[in-house]
Every structure is written in structure tokens, then in C-alpha cells.
A = this chain, B = another copy of it.
Amino acid sequence: MKLKDIGEFALIENFSKKFFSKPLPKGFVGIGDDCAYIPSESLSKGESIAVSCDMLQENVHFIKDEIGGENLGKKSLAVNLSDLASSGATPLGSFLSVALPEDIEEDFLNNFFKGYAFMSEKYGCPLLGGDTVKSLNGITINVTVLGKVNRENVKLRKNAQPGDFVCVTGFLGDSACGLDFVKMGKNHRPKEADYFISCHHNPNPRLEEGKFLSQFSCVNSMMDISDGISSDLKHILKESQVSAVVELEKLPLSSQMRDYWGFNLKKMYELATSGGEDYELLFTVNKTQFANLNKLFQEKFSKPIYPIGKITEGFSSEIIFLENTNPINGFSNGYDHFTA
């Protein structure tokens, strides 16, 4: 069966009933009316609603038959939850808009909603509404997520301080490496490709890590890594009117990355700085508190924080990359969707 045989209204109703069986929290009103409703009692004094949205386009952000319905469903929500993570927010709900070609297979849609529902349930973020429209060319997905934050804990990009350590929560570059393998086509990939492609197609939003880090006043700024640190860190630098040095040797690289690329350090550094879609958290920490924060983080998550550089004085918002303490050139500035 294809979408044109199912019809728009049946689609929304059927899939929401099929995959989202859990009752909504008290006072919430979800799919079925012109608006969804979240009661003010969901928020405490001193809290704010955090909102973010991300749009994904077929053949720009994903290749349908490579990612598959289930991972596409998961990733559509995950990349949005990653934005909530960077603000230390607790999810309240999501809104899913999809433009779908008429000839899309019901199986694909089933898997898409299954994946989306899995991620919704895993992170406690119910689907509250959305829109479904016809597309003449490929799939477009837009997700809007709402969460709640303790306002005092929000780490804006503009608060990085000279002297802060620049840190990340996990490995960089695996997703970008996966994208390279995706582009290579199924028949030309090495056997090691699976791990990297899975990192690319199935990212994990760092919601728990974000909530934990946001409680500490020594964390001065935070964002998630969607375009690569070369590009993302620049946003922090620009908003905070500071500069930074990043030590390439300190970039956390997975054992899979090191095994595959061997001595090709330049390639690994490129993937880790400019590739994007890591969906780890990028944050700056007052250096005097770093050791203590790292200890507490390790106790809670059984993994370390990775310091990769330092915030420096300087309005130019420049990142100087160091290799064995020597400044080096030749790193591009992350992924800009229009000029890349």
C-alpha cells in the first residue's frame, strides 16, 4: 500500500494510535485538535520553556534507502533533543511535520513512526501534534521540541570566559566518517564502515549529560555539535567576543577511528573538527573547577569529559588549532549548508 491509498487524515490518526499508546501527562492535550495544549502547571517558578526546531531534507541531510525508515524516525527526533540537551532541558513534547511523496511505501512510514516513537519513549518526549502534507520531490521533516529548564541553569553561548577550558562529552568525527562511507555507495565500502555509518544514522542526544552539566555554575556556555566544532565553537566565540585555541592531539577519537585511519592524523583531525553531526555537547568550564567537575561527571556517567582547548582573550572570534604546540592552518570552518 502506498501513501496515496491511505490519505492524509488516516495517516496522522493511524500512526499516532499505533505507535504512541502511552497516555499523555495530566492536563496535556495532544493530536486531534487545531492546537495541542501544555498546562502551565508543567512549569515551576523560575523555569522557562525551551523550544528548538530542525528541518531535514532528503538527499541533503539523509539518503532514504541508506538510513532507512526506523533510523530516520529516530534521528529526526534525536537531533532536536540534542538542542534541548545543550540547554539542560527536560523534554515536554514534540511536533512533527512531514512532507511526503505520494508513492512512499507504507512499510517505510511504519518504520519511520516506529523509530520516532522509540525515541519519544526513551527520552520521555511525547508526540503532541504536527502536520502531514504532500511533497512533489522527496521527504522533508521538521520537528519542533519543547522542554522545560531551570532558567538559572541555562548556558547561553555568550557567557564563555577567557581562561575557560573548551570541552566535549564524547568522540568527534565518527559521524562525519560515516557520512563519507554513505556517499561512497554500498558496494565500495570497507567492512569497518558499519560502525561509522551507525554513528551517523543513529545519534544519541546527550540529555542526561546536559542536565547534569547545566547544574554547575562553573559551566559558562554550552551548545550541541551539529556542524563540527570548527563551525560550532565559532558561535560561542562570536557571541562571547573571545577567541580560542584547540589542541588537535586532545580531540577525543574513537578506537574505531584510530584503527581505521592509522597514521592519517590529518584526516582524523579534519573529520573531528569540520565534519559535524556528532551531537555531543560542546561547553566551556572555569578551569579552576574542571578537575572537580570531571570527577563528578565520571562518577555519574562512567566516562570522562574531554578538554580540547582553552578560551582566550580576543574579539576576533578566531580558533587557533595547535599540533604539538605549533599553530597549523588548513582546517575548514565547518559545514555551512549553502556554501559547502
Residues of A at the B interface (CB closer than 8 Å) are 3-4, 6-9, 11, 27, 29, 32-40, 43-57, 59-61, 83-84, 86-87, 89, 95, 97-99, 102, 128-138, 140, 142, 144, 146-147, 149, 151, 154, 156-157, 223-224, 239, 336-339
Given contacts A34-B83, A86-B35, A224-B34, contact A135 B50 (CB under 8 A): no
For the complex with contacts A8-B337, A29-B156, A34-B224, 13 further pairs of A-B residues with Cβ separation under 8 Å are A4-B338, A11-B338, A33-B156, A33-B157, A35-B51, A35-B87, A37-B48, A38-B51, A51-B146, A53-B130, A55-B131, A57-B135, A140-B142
User: How many whole Å from A149's CB to the nearest CB in chain B?
Assistant: 7
Q: Cβ of A99: which chain B residues have Cβ within 8 Å of it?
A: 55, 57, 60, 140
What B residues does A50 contact at CB under 8 A? 35-37
Chain B residues with CB under 8 A of A157? 32-33
Query: Which of A49, A56, A338 has the most chain B CB atoms closer than 10 A to its own CB?
Result: A338
A299 to chain B: closest CB distance in Å?
26
List the B side residues contacting A137 at CB < 8 Å: 136-138
Among candidates B60, B87, B146, B149, residue contacting A133 with C-beta atoms closer than 8 Å = B60
Whether A6 touches B102, Cβ cut-off 8 Å, given contacts A52-B129, A131-B53, A134-B57, is no
Residues on the B chain within 8 Å of A98, using CB: 55
Tell me, in angstroms, the Cα distance from A224 to B29 when the chains sit together. Answer: 17
Q: A43-B43, A99-B140, A137-B137 are in contact. Are A49 and B53 (CB under 8 A)?
A: no
Given contacts A29-B156, A337-B134, contact A52 B40 (CB under 8 A): no
**Which chain B positions have C-beta within 8 A of A83?**
34-35
- Which residues of the partner chain B approach A38 to less than 8 Å between Cβ atoms? 48-49, 51
* Candidates B43, B55, B102; contact of A40 at CB < 8 Å: B43
CB distance from A36 to the nearest CB of B (A): 5
A132-B51 contact, Cβ under 8 Å, with A34-B83, A34-B86: no
Q: Is the CB of A336 within 8 A of B9?
A: yes
Name the residue on B nearest A136 (C-beta): B59
B51 touches A95 (CB 8 A): yes
Q: Which residues of B contact A34 (CB under 8 A)?
A: 52, 83, 86-87, 223-224
B55 touches A336 (CB 8 A): no
- Measured in the bound complex, the distance between the Cα atoms of B146 and A131 in whole Å is 15
